[in-house]
Structure 1
Amino acid sequence: MSKPVIALVGRPNVGKSTLFNRLTRSRDAIVADYPGLTRDRQYGTGRLGNSPYIVVDTGGLSGEIEGVDPLMADQVRAALEEADAVLFLVDGRQGIVPADEVIANYIRQFDKPVYVLVNKAEGCDHSMVASDFFQLGLGEPLAISSAHGDNVAVAIEHVLSALPAKQDEEEFELDEHPGVRVAVIGRPNVGKSTLINRMIGEERVVAFDMPGTTRDSIFVPFERNGKPYTLIDTAGVRRRKNIKEKIEKFSIIKAMEAMADSHVVILLIDGSEGLTDQDLTLLGLAIESGRGLVIAVNKWDNLSSDQKEWVKNELSFRLQFADYAKQHLISALHGTGVGDLFKTIDAVHLAAFKRVSTSDLNRVLEQAVLDHQPPLIGGRRVKLRYAHLGGLNPPRVIVHGTQVDKLPAAYTKYLVNVFRKAFKWVGTPVTVEYKVAANPFEGRKSKPPSRLSGRQEKSEMKAKLKKKKKPTKRRS
């Protein structure tokens, strides 16, 4: 990377995510007065003047050895190993605590430049607040306020000035989410994070046998066979009545935003539980987002023959409204069928952005009308005159004609299926919109009828003819 990487480390609820959002000038990290909110490492880019940098937000280190905390510590370790500098955040209002000393000793093992930032120092004497943290032995602490921005620019300037200049001086913008963006959605504990780790081949996000482990949307860029992808791990979406924690409502919003930011959505279903009403709700949200869709049934290896047959019947019967989406039977834990997902992802992405010419669209539309005439509306036949492409991802076809706004939904579905088959728009929603042809005589004032008698009209016509005749001159 041509940009320096800065890792944010500290105890839970010391303000790391707030500082991350300020440094990246974004709201990518969820922020709330709630300890242990960030669990995976989150990447973002920032700039101070002409100096760009990459910031890595990490989960809080609590020192506990049970539950999800050791897995979170693995994420912190990965962030420290790839960082060029470390910002160690402590809470200035609480003062130094034993956990801060434990974290300081842990950070020293990585031999990276460390800067102690005493956060939440707004309204306080900065020198007094920072004085307690000299005993950490990591240099002079700097009092800041990540919420209000006090001394944040000073801290980053100090960090960047101490880092060696990068060899590549060519300035360019790093694509934060390169290639095909794939959002993985599903209910809690269906194996989304496990699938992400299996697809990229490393423990990139926290996978734990406990619902709600992922709370933020994590963007994971990687390459496969030379092609860039970005996988988006989202928070599990529960039924609304089961959402009790306020912070979980924020996670659901981030999951919905992730679908809007993606090119392809993978709906992951737990095969051991079958297709639930919440799965259908999520499927409806994915279709409404207009993104390409892939349905993956996880934990397939653990099912008996009778269970597999029952799940297949459920899918074929209850997913008829999404029959364009290809279904995969996989095991994220063991890797069964995961490799085939990439073939479908590539095909769906290609279809979602495939352009077709207006002439080809009209040729298909003409043949569709010949095969199946539009219905009569009010005794008049609906006329479909011509069509053109109105947008991509999803493909949007605009059809012009007379009375097209009165076409029934069944005929629209017929046209969608015709276009999908003709242009191989697989795995992506196809939208058909109508434009009623304007009446060329609308708005014109009609000429009032003549009230002259027949004899008067004849005399006026003779007078007009005489005026048109030119007099001839006789030669002497």
Structure 2
Amino acid sequence: MSAVITIVGRPNVGKSMLFNTLTDTRDALVADLPGLTRDRQYGEISLQDITATLVDTGGMLGDEGELTELMDDQIMQAVEEADLLLFVVSAKDGLLGDDEAILNRIRSLGKPIWVLVNKSENKDPDMALADFYQLGIETMHAMSTAHRRGIAELKEKLTGFLKQQNKQSETTTDFGPGLAIIGRPNVGKSTLVNRLLGENRVLAYDLPGTTRDSIHLPLVWEDNRYTLIDTAGVRRRSKIGEGIEKFSIIKTIDAIKHAQVCLLLIDATESITDQDMHLIGLAVYHAKPVLLVINKWDHLSEDHKQQVKSRLNHKLQAFQWLPRVYTSALHGSGLRHVMERVALLLERANMELTANQLTNVLNEAYKAHQPPLVQGLSSQLKYAHPGGHHPMRIIIHGKRVDKLPDSYKRYLENTFRDAFDLKGIPLVLQFKAGRNPFADKTKKKSEFPSRRSNKHPK
């Protein structure tokens, strides 16, 4: 899992400029005005091929009344989720009471804290740090983001920290293929994890948002090893407000990126929501096999079950290729079907298909249903071959393939899925047109008119 690094501090100490410098972007607003950043900004920092999520926060303890209180609450949520806190202070201002108050608040959470003494361009580094030793923080660093002084040394320190984080992450996540349990709050994710493990390893309360971080747990199921990733619940945007779920979605996205299979839990009593569709889109965007787990199924009457299935069919028209399993995590029913489907998804996602197999399916599909004519001409499909995994890619060669309508491309995709049982596997079809070897000669000839045409103009 990627580490999360959060930048905190008073207004106008240079947090946003540090964010832009470390992420090599201009995403955070930067100006010499206190309190300019009023919301969290997320970015990615990459050091020696190691990536981490960097969070820029608004200034704490400002003087904007209720807005400041709201911002402070939001910042504290980001602090709770962080693996490392970069506490930025100003050498120009020296140690202020607000700095000590902020440190006391974040220190109580037991997170690693580094004190970054910014705006120290006109001071000797030792002198810049002298005023802040009384804070009792072991790691301190003098720098100037505006003059890029001390930035290289800071990146070197961060690289060491991220490497150590990666080592710790590998010991907990390299047990087996990662299964990300994703979904909205209170749909039964933690209950499902506990049922699969056969013990209460994860908190499971009837309170939305109980799980605030992604938790990795080793699972052995019928001699197969897996790593369960229980994620924080993701609420729809209108319910997020300034609460903790807004930040927890980063952990969920990170879990999706690092998993081999995503299990999306849907509450059968509420049916599928737009937020569920959003999570499906995220998993497919990151080319992850997806299994829809319809939970709390045992609670429903037969009529209600038919209504839920009808609504699923309606909402999932673009994702009909996703397999579904109906379960009750609370009672433990359907778990064997879940793990059987997971094993099948892992097998199919890494299936090695040959050019001969793919071309045979392509030819049969073309014979059964040819593409429509465009300007009196038909597209011709010649052969297909594999183009890689995750996502599984099939490259199709032919003539006038750029004229193929989307409906025909979906037809081909469905045909390949049915032929090789690729339900739940993201599939990308890539089309390549044959090159005309005479195209360049014709072009060159047209660029130079004959002498006869010059001598005898019409």
Question: Scaled by the length of structure 2, what TM-score is found?
Answer: 0.63
Per the TM alignment, residue 363 of structure 1 is displaced from its structure 2 partner at its CA by 1.4
1:433 is aligned with what amino acid? Q
Which position in structure 1 is the counterpart of 2:293?
296
Residues 294 and 326, structure 1, Cα contact 8 Å, conserved in 2: yes
Structure showing greater radius of gyration is 1
Q: Deviations for 1:1-49, whole angstroms, at most 9, x for unmatched residues? A: xxxxxxxxxxxxxxxxxxxx9xxx8747989775577889x9xxxxxxx
2:307 equivalent to 1:307: no
Give yes or no for contact 2:294–2:326 (8 Å, CA) kept in 1.
yes
1:212 aligns with 2:209: yes
Selected match of 1:354 from 351, 354, 361? 351
1:403 to 400, 405, 414: 400
The residue aligned with 1:319 is 316
Could you say if the C-alpha distance between residues 30 and 201 of structure 1 is closer, same or farther in structure 2, counting changes exceeding 3 Å?
Answer: farther
Deviation per CA, 1:319-340, whole angstroms, max 9, x where unpaired?
A: 2322222211111122111222
Q: CA deviation at 1:121?
A: 11
Counterpart code for 2:412: L
1:345 aligns with 2:342: yes
* 2:439 match: secondary structure: coil
Match of 2:256 in 1: 259
Does 1:188 pair with 2:188? no
Letter of the 1:295 partner, please give it: L
Q: 1:319 to 1:118 in 2, by over 3 A?
A: closer
CA deviations over 1:171-225 (Å, ceiling 9, x no partner): xx75833432221221111111221222222333332221122232333333323
Report the counterpart of residue 226 of structure 2 in structure 1: 229
Q: Deviations over 1:34-69 (max 9, x none)?
A: 5577889x9xxxxxxxxxxxxx99xxxxxxxxxxxx
Alignment root-mean-square deviation, CA: 4.4
Q: Deviations over 1:340-375 (max 9, x none)?
A: 211101111111111101111111111211111222
User: Aligned equivalents of 1:202 and 1:125: distance in 2?
Assistant: 51
Match of 1:365 among 362, 366, 373: 362
Amino acid of the residue matched to residue 235 of structure 2? Answer: R
Q: Distance in 2 between matches of 1:325 and 1:118?
A: 44
SS, match of residue 211 in structure 2: coil
Give the secondary structure class of the aligned counterpart of 1:444. helix
1:253-274 Cα distance to aligned partner (Å, 9 max, x none):
2222322222211111111112
Structure 1 residues 129 and 186, CA, compared in 2 at 3 Å: closer, same or farther? closer
What is the count of residue pairs matched by the alignment?
345
Amino acid at match of 1:291: K
Q: How does 1:356-435 map to 2 (within 5 A)?
A: 356-435=353-432
Cα distance change of structure 1 residues 365 and 341 upon mapping to structure 2, 3 Å threshold = same
Match of 2:435 among 420, 438, 441: 438
Displacement of 1:93 in angstroms is: 5.2
Distance 2:404 2:290 in 1: 27
For residues 101-180 of structure 1, the aligned pairs below 5 Å read 143=138, 174=171, 176-180=173-177
How much does 1:126 deviate?
8.9
- TM-score relative to the length of structure 1: 0.61
Q: Which amino acid aligns with 1:308?
A: K
Is the Cα–Cα contact under 8 Å of residues 259 and 288 in structure 2 kept in the other structure? yes
Change over 3 Å in CA distance of 1:431–1:126 after alignment to 2: closer
CA contact (8 A) 1:297 1:330 kept: yes
Consecutive unaligned residues of structure 1, counting only runs of 5 or more, are: 1-20, 43-55, 58-91, 104-115, 131-141, 157-172, 452-476
Change beyond 3 A, Cα 1:375–1:315: same
Structure 2 residue aligned with 1:16: none
